[in-house]
Every structure is written in C-alpha cells, then in structure tokens.
Amino acid sequence: MTDPTRGQPEGEEPPRPAEGAERLLPPGTTAWALDSGLAGHRSHCQAITSELGLIPILKPVRTSGIFSALSPYAPIDPRDAPGRPGSPIAPPFPDIAFASGRRTVPYLRRLRAAAGQRTFTVFLEDPRVGAGLADLIWVPEHDRLRGDNVIVTLTPPNPLRPALLAAARAAPDRRIAALAGPRAALIVGGPSLHHRFTPDDDAALAGIALSLLARGYSIMATSSRRTAESTLAALRAVFAGAPRRCFLWDGTGDNPYVAMIANADAIVVTGDSVNMVSEAVSTSAPAYVYEPSGGHSRLRRYLDALVARGVLRRWSGDLDAWSHEPVDSTRLIAAEIARRYAAFKRG
C-alpha cells in the first residue's frame, strides 16, 4: 500500500525537510521524485528535496526487458504512458520533478513534454543524452557535461546535513558512545562494476585497522550492501583482539552510520563509491581514502580533485593531525535549483 500524498511504501519513513533550513521555495510547492530503485540515486534526490523543504511523491520507475536494456536512449514502456492507469507520470503534474539514474531518463523526458510549463524538471547526475533533457541538471566536477542549465559542484548532494550531524554528536548512539576516544570511522564498500576486493585488499584493510588501533584509536566500522564476507572476516579477526575498542556494523540491527561520521576524529573510507567519499569529507575530521583493486578514470578524477582541494588524503600509513573545512554541496545545489525555479515560474 502507498500513501498517495507521499509515495512512500507503507511503514517506511518519508524523507523529511532539513531541520532548521531556511525555506527556499514558496509554501505549497509540489514535487515528484522519479525513483530508479537504486539507493545512490534515491539518496541524491532525498538530500536535495529535504534541503528545499519538500516531501516529494515517490514515483517508482521499474523498467524491464528492452526498455531497461536501452535506457537512457529508449522511449518509455508504452504501458507507462501518462494516460494509462498506474503510470508513474500520470497527471496531475507537480511543480517540480526530480530524477536520477538512467532508467528514469525516458520518463523525465516524456513528463517534460507532457507537462510543458507546468513542471520544472531537474535531473541529478549526467543523463548521458545531453543537457537538453531537463530544465536543470546537476553533475559533479568529474563528469564532462557542461551547459547553461548545468550546475557543477565538487561533490554530490548527501543527506548528512549539519543539523543531523550536530544531533548525532549531542546524543550519540550508545554503541559509539561506549568506545573510548579518539575514534576512527572505517567505512567499507565492496565489489562493484569497476572495483574488486581481492585477498590483498582484505589484508590491507585489516592492516589499516591494526594501524589505527596501534595509534590509540577506537574503531567504528560499517559495511555496505556490497561488502564481501571475506572482507568482514578479515576485520573481525583484527577486532577480536580488541573487543572493547572496536564496533563493526555488519547489517545486524540499526546502522549507526551517521553517529560514526559525526563522532569520528579520523575517517578512512574505501574509494569505490562517490557517495561514501563525499560523506567522509562532510565534517572537518581528517579523511583518508583506500583505493581497492580496479578503478575507473571518472572516479580517479574525483578523488584527485578532493586531494588537490586539501579535504582528502590517500592512505599511506600515516595518520596526521589535520583538519579541513567540511564540504557541503547540498546547500549550493538546492539554492541554485530554487533560483532557477523562480525564474522558470516568472516565464
């Protein structure tokens, strides 16, 4: 069952507007979020809509067969035409429509054609079909797309807002509070399209954990959906030697991820995820990246840019006392969307 005012599955908490954020849009502004089903895409939309003070109606786009294989270049599935029952893009149309992920590209294109000046369209990430897809497009610096309607920032939007981090510091998760300081967060991803986690990588991550413990840090570690059991086993073997100074979230119980980032005196993140790295640099804590086997030029450009900006260092075995300004692209992106939307409404 779906709540028609929010588009969220029953029992699932919808994304809330950022607490204490200045209102950027007129009261009553309505929004959709075309959802590809992938967590990274959803996170971008949630971060931006929350910052804008919106609770969008979630519109799942679940293509299959030829329509999925040929996205973003294919048309929408005819069964999802705006006039068909159950279409994710059926009217009444919203004031603003957000989308992210290649599967949503044909649907945003069709929505824009159907809604015309009724709906301002926003796509988050490079749609791979050019800047003409939407009224406004956001891309990170390491993507190549540019244009008058393209916003470019160093990092992607993320949900770790200053107020959320402050609250996690004021009342930390008890599992985090139980660890003596200083605390290091170890954020671990896993195999992906471009990265592998080999036995050497598992050994390297275990070595990083040993190094952190030797320097007097307690370790707060979290895995992702992609983390391999071999990686978790390597970390558990290290943590077994210092059980009172280590906590590993392995998918059991609530994930204290926000508390880990907020209360970290140092952060080490694996370099297989743009989003994970962007969240690692969202505080002033020293942030280090370990790059697993494989890689891609696009992600390498991203890491290079963060290193050049002085907000990230590649793990080399050293752990110095340094800090940096938190990187917060979310507010910049939201403010520009609000400005462009106001111009769109003026015609």
Residues 197 and 128 in one domain: no
249 is a domain residue? yes
Residues 94 and 198 in one domain: no
**Residue 22: per-residue pLDDT:** 61
Name 234's Cβ contacts closer than 8 Å, sequence gap at least 6. Answer: 202, 203, 205, 206
CA distances from 340 to 14, 97, 111, 159, 343 (A): 26, 13, 19, 22, 5
**Residue 18: per-residue pLDDT:** 53
3 is a domain residue? no
Reading phi first (left if > 0) and then psi (alpha if -120 to 50, else beta), residue 188 is in: beta
| Amino acid at the residue 263 | N
Residues 56 and 96 in one domain: yes
Length of the chain: 347
Residues 173 and 89 in one domain: no
pLDDT at 83 over 60: yes
pLDDT at 6 over 50: no
CB atoms within 10 A of CB 68: 14
Structural domain harbouring 120: 31-157+330-346
**Residue 321: per-residue pLDDT:** 87
236 is a domain residue? yes
Residues 236 and 302 in one domain: yes
Residues 96 and 204 in one domain: no
245 is a domain residue? yes
What percent of the chain has a predicted confidence (pLDDT) above 70? 94
Per-residue pLDDT tens over the stretch 135-194: 999 999 999 999 999 999 999 999 999 999 999 999 999 999 999 999 999 999 999 989
Segment 225-235 mean pLDDT: 95
Report CA dihedral (207, 211, 212, 214) to the nearest 10 degrees: 140
4 is a domain residue? no
CATH number at residue 182: 3.40.50.2000
pLDDT at 19 over 70: no
pLDDT at 14 over 90: no
pLDDT at 20 over 70: no
**Res. 258 pLDDT band, cuts 50 70 90:** very high
Residues 283 and 307 in one domain: yes
Residues 340 and 272 in one domain: no
**Res. 294 pLDDT band, cuts 50 70 90:** very high
Residues 147 and 248 in one domain: no
Residues 172 and 307 in one domain: yes
23 is a domain residue? no
pLDDT at 16 over 70: no
**Res. 23 pLDDT band, cuts 50 70 90:** confident
Segment 215-230 mean pLDDT: 95
Name 215's Cβ contacts closer than 8 Å, sequence gap at least 6. Answer: 319
Segment 84-92 mean pLDDT: 94
pLDDT at 30 over 70: yes
**Res. 252 pLDDT band, cuts 50 70 90:** confident
**Res. 235 pLDDT band, cuts 50 70 90:** very high
pLDDT at 8 over 70: no
Distance in angstroms (rounded) separating the CA atoms of residues 195 and 152 = 25
Residues 171 and 140 in one domain: no
CB atoms within 10 A of CB 131: 17
325 is a domain residue? no
92 is a domain residue? yes
pTM exceeds 0.85: yes
pLDDT at 218 over 70: yes
Residues 218 and 102 in one domain: no
Q: How many domains does the chain have?
A: 2
Distance in angstroms (rounded) separating the CA atoms of residues 53 and 279 = 21
**Res. 64 pLDDT band, cuts 50 70 90:** confident
Mean pLDDT of all residues in the chain? 91
**Res. 264 pLDDT band, cuts 50 70 90:** very high
